[in-house]
Structure 1
């Protein structure tokens, strides 16, 4: 997801590395901190693959660079948005990274296909806790903290499913 965030932010505008780091950190940093040790190797991999380029920033001195997306980088980013991996649909933080840049995908039908995958995932019965193979509902859990987790997750999931159906122009199942 780090690479998609890098490509997505650079699709919006060229950025110096420190500003790119700040934006990526604001997007995912509260749950998955972004260190220089992960950001700059990712930038180097993307540059080596021809997906972004570095130019010296004459305003900031010789040691500073501005990063920009190449046409190959734009194509790669769009493909990542069209076909996110399953864990990018099911993991909340990863999905929000996809969602952050989904509007860059020019085809509304392709955007909606991604949203339908997320909606299908959210409509599957799930829980953090199980009774054997059966997912437990919040009302069945006696531990108040676990019940709180389930109630919060239920409310979040319900709100997201409502929003997804609204965007997709679909009615909830009867």
Structure 2
């Protein structure tokens, strides 16, 4: 789901090469989270076979393949955006992708994505509180350092919640950033 959503979401903004898609995913997920071209290009071929995109070779000397989303691909993108994000090692990444491309959804759908991500963050924070209480009951040097790492995760969670509040404000109050294309 992660790569499919990222690729289709980026193509909602306009045609792109594989390199441009890879760069866009890196911008969203972070510098060290590169999708390999060995994953990207077979996925583009699969999307073309499923009629989600068209691939055309441009006239440049490098003969780059340009991917363009089709109406069927736009429909698939919207379908992926509405799917509940599974809780696993990629949950946070999928939410980041959804947040990056949600301008192609209605404001109400954008707010649903934010609410679901908020619920996920609150669930993580509850788990962190339980871990901290457990670690506090142990009073050793090893547990002190483990507590500090868990507290770091806790602070990250609170930062995300604050950011989500800002996004809701930007989308609902200012409206300008929440417009769909």
Structure 1 residue 75 displacement after superposition:
1.2
Structure 1 residue 93 displacement after superposition:
1.9
The alignment of Structure 1 onto Structure 2 pairs a total of residues equal to: 161
Q: Structure 1 regions of 5+ residues with no counterpart? A: 128-133, 170-174
- Aligned positions of 1:1-150 closer than 5 A: 1-28=2-29, 30-61=31-62, 63-87=63-87, 91-105=91-105, 107-124=106-123, 125-127=126-128, 135-137=130-132, 140=136, 142-150=142-150
| Structure-2-length-normalised TM-score | 0.76
Whether the aligned pair in 1 keeps the contact of 2:26 and 2:32 (CA below 8 Å) is no
CA distance in 1, matches of 2:22, 2:116: 29
CA distance in 2, matches of 1:101, 1:166: 17
Structure 1 residue 72 displacement after superposition:
0.8
Structure 1 residue 31 displacement after superposition:
4.8
> Deviation above 6 Å: which 4+ runs of structure 1?
none
Q: Structure 2 regions of 5+ residues with no counterpart? A: 170-181
Q: Aligned Cα RMSD in Å?
A: 2.6
| Structure-1-length-normalised TM-score | 0.79
CA distance in 1, matches of 2:127, 2:132: 9
**3-state secondary structure, aligned to 1:160:** helix
